[in-house]
Amino acid sequence: MRVKEVLKILEKIAPLKLTEGYDAKNGIQIEEPDVNVKCILTCLDVTPTTVKMAIEHGCQIVISHHQPIIIPLRTVFKSDWYGEIVSLALKHDITIYSIHTAYDSVKEGLNDYVGKLIGLENMHPLQHHNGDPTSPHGMGRIGVLKETLPLDDFAKQVKEKLSASTLKIVGNGEKLIQKVAIGTGNGLALIDDVLKSDVDVYVTGDVQYHDMRKMVQNNMAMIAVEHDDTEKFFSKSIREKLERKLPYLQFVEFNDKFYHVLD
């Protein structure tokens, strides 16, 4: 199977038309369309280490959640981060394809995957795609827990299921939680939608001090983890979808966590 055929399958899994207008280009970042594919690497971020891992495993495609090229490159130097990614990929005929907000938005994409992990059922978009209330796609999700839990107990469940490195809680720890909103990655753009809803708590990442204060002022509970502690599941989620469609290919998951947290 050629690269261009795999990319057609990816487009069906997460149509690029679902990309949010503010997002950098989803889809092809670097392409070698006629290469025969034997191995695919899935990841959250593309770093030089990620590309080297793809080379080591003989992969022809790297599929990432975050785009390696956010701002168009004006120059390429092998000695810098972006230049090394580009030069290594081109030298070894590796295609890099990124699905960011398109995969956040699509039904059964990242928000649904993470929502199920933390115990949510009967999910629907928090913010419907293009404002169409009939669309099954959109940013964030609202779902319900099977059983009502105190906020602190639900937060412990979230931390365990996400293997979260850090976790902050806004709200009374004894508040009963059943209806939950989730926004993977940086969910701050969805806060106003959360406050207009009737959910009991919002689970998201990349939360700053003043964002937490806004939730307190509006009597809304929040559970905040690191950005990547919700999005790191992209590599597994997309791999599982592709394995079902392409069982004869080899897959490698690799997430290059480039920071650490002290206990």
Per-residue pLDDT for the chain (263 aa), expressed as one digit of tens each?
999 999 999 999 999 999 999 998 899 999 988 899 999 999 999 999 999 999 999 999 999 999 998 888 788 888 888 899 999 999 999 999 999 999 999 999 999 999 999 999 999 999 999 999 999 999 999 999 999 999 999 999 999 999 999 999 999 999 999 999 999 999 899 999 999 999 999 999 989 999 999 999 999 999 999 999 999 999 999 999 999 999 999 999 999 988 888 87
Q: Are 2 and 34 in contact (CB under 8 A)?
A: yes
Q: What is the pTM of this model?
A: 0.95
Structure tokens at 80: 């810098």
Edge-to-edge, what's the strand order for the sheet holding 167-170?
120-128, 138-150, 176-186, 201-205, 221-225, 167-170
Domains and CATH numbers, the chain: 3-103 (3.40.1390.30), 107-228 (3.40.1390.30)
